[in-house]
Amino acid sequence: MKFAVLTGGGDCSGMNAFIRAIVRCSINIHPETSVYGVIDGWKGLIYNNYRKLDKLAVAGIASQGGTILGTVRVQDLVTNTSLQETICQNLHDNHFDYLFVCGGNGSVKASNTINTYMRREGLRTRVLVSPGSIDNDVVNNAGSSIGFYSALDKSLEMLEWIRDTASAHRRVYLIKSMGRNSAYLAFYAGIATGAEYVIRPGEEVDFEKIATMIDERDRDTRIIVAEGYEKSLGEIREILEKLFVKRDLHHEIRSVDMSYFQRGGSAAVTDILRASWVAFCMVKDAFKKCGSGFYTAFYTGHHFPVIPLEIAADDELTSHEDIPADILELALALQ
């Protein structure tokens, strides 16, 4: 068989472990298999840019952050039908039996569109997808994305560093976290580090209450702001500073952005293991000539049913942007 492996969307730690496992499992199970890496994500499929991968090409990369194949965003892929047709025809003409994808929200939607076109036109390639994103906004009601726990580890470390300087100066820190529209990364990081407050996208924030909390603590206060929240760190700072003046309170505020740092660095062991497991399951199923589908990244060794791509691509059915009520309760219980 002939396989292609692609990493799409924002990079995350764990993608390299996925690539390595696709290559190694394929060649070790059936040595005659050829595996090609798609260079620069979806863009590589538009321009037929591939690199043949053997076992040596993926040696020593499992814990490495980023993706050795690269990932370039193609903004209009989900809407541009001529790009989609080009990709489908290229996959077919290159005789790829399966395309293995590790990517976020956009990649799941693109995979679904491409698979629909392929099936309708009777083309060759089947598409197997796994969630890879720090945002954890892909089918997160059944497991979590590869890369999410790695980004949490980095966030936790940064938040602990900020605590050191914040407590030395008794300051308030506004700390921006990535996550697109999803509250997961910011909120889970907040729980893990014991941040005083996490502002979630769409939240009606009671700034008076936050000002009171800051004053009552009268020491370090870390407020994490999720990327999807409507106000910038500067705007939040201005609101709080005005409240301090109005109430004759004296607190210093600083701001810091963790964003791109959260994406880099070595992968968490849980992400390496889950990425390897998911890739292994995909490859075994491909050798059984399975249909296209979405593989959740649950526990290593756990066989979660494969989800049809059209369901995985429907956020309404499979993903929460806000966190579930019982996790909110956990955060309150820990305060």
Is 9 an interacting residue with respect to ligand F6P (CB under 6 A)? Answer: yes
Minimum CB distance to ligand F6P smaller for 48 or for 80: 80
CA–CA separation, 178 vs 185, rounded Å?
7
Q: Give me the least distance between CB of 130 and ligand F6P, in Å please.
A: 15
* Integer Cα distance of 160 and 45 in angstroms: 41
Answer yes or no: 326 catalytic. no
Of these, 227, 271, 321, 322, which contacts ligand F6P (CB under 6 A)?
A: 227
Among residue numbers 136 through 175, which ones bind ligand F6P (CB under 6 A)? Answer: none
Please identify the residue of the shown chain whose CB is closest to the bound ligand F6P: 10
- Per-residue three-class SS string for 73-108: CCCCCCCCHHHHHHHHHHHHHCCCCEEEEEECHHHH
Identify residues 60-79 at the interface with ligand F6P (CB under 6 A): 73
Residue 246 to residues 86, 180, 241, 254, Cα–Cα distance (Å): 61, 34, 9, 19
Tally Cβ neighbours within 10 Å of residue 13.
Answer: 31
Q: How far is the CB of 28 from ligand F6P (least distance, A)?
A: 32
Q: Which of 10, 66, 103, 190 binds ligand F6P (CB under 6 A)?
A: 10
200 binds ligand F6P (CB under 6 A): no
CA distance 98 to 283: 9
Q: With contacts defined by CB under 6 A, name the span among 40-48, 127-135, 218-226, 302-310 that binds ligand F6P.
A: 127-135
41 binds ligand F6P (CB under 6 A): no
How many residues sit in the footprint of ligand F6P (CB under 6 A)? Answer: 12
The secondary structure of the chain in percent helix, strand, coil, rounded to multiples of 5, reads 45, 15, 40
Among 133, 144, 150, 276, binds ligand F6P (CB under 6 A): 133
Choosing from 40, 135, 196, 321, the residue that interacts with ligand F6P (CB under 6 A) is 135
Find out whether 136 and 144 touch, Cβ atoms under 8 Å.
yes
Q: What's at 290, amino acid-wise?
A: C
Residues making contact with ligand F6P (CB under 6 A): 9-10, 73, 104, 133-135, 178-180, 227, 263
Residues designated as active site? 135
